[in-house]
Amino acid sequence: MKKLMYSLASLAVLAGATPAFAQEAAAGSGMGSANWVAITAGFAMAIASSICGMAQAKATAAAAEGMARNPGATAGIRLALILGLAFIESLALYTFVIIFIKVA
């Protein structure tokens, strides 16, 4: 319990000290907020695309396994797979639209 209290107290001190290190960009530094928006937008799209790719691979593998186990349910599984893949892909598309709005 004592270790937990020390950890939480240290976390509170570090969280409180964070604004002390924040400062505005210098006038001639060339690294304004628009550059950081573009950089973070690229990372956001990369993360969203990778998550979508992993989710699509898992959904496709599960659907193929389900069709192999029960060939009679192929039509239902295929419909659910296509609907699921559309929802998964919409995550990447929504991320792309939000990034396009924020950067452009």
Query: Which domain covers residue 61, as residue numbers?
Result: 31-103
pLDDT tens for each residue of 17-40: 766 666 665 555 555 555 788 888
Q: Is residue 99 part of a domain?
A: yes
Q: Is residue 17 part of a domain?
A: no
Q: Over range 83-102, report the average pLDDT.
A: 91
Q: Over range 84-100, report the average pLDDT.
A: 91
Which phi-psi region, left, alpha or beta, contains residue 28 (left: φ > 0; alpha: ψ -120 to 50)?
A: alpha
CATH number at residue 54: 1.20.20.10
**pLDDT mean across residues, the chain:** 85
Q: Is residue 24 part of a domain?
A: no
pLDDT bucket at 57, cuts 50 / 70 / 90: very high
Q: Is residue 76 part of a domain?
A: yes
Number of domain units in the chain: 1
The pLDDT score that the predictor gives to residue 81 is 95
Q: Is residue 4 part of a domain?
A: no
Q: Is residue 5 part of a domain?
A: no
Q: Is residue 2 part of a domain?
A: no
Task: With a cut of 70, say whether residue 103 has pLDDT above it.
Answer: yes
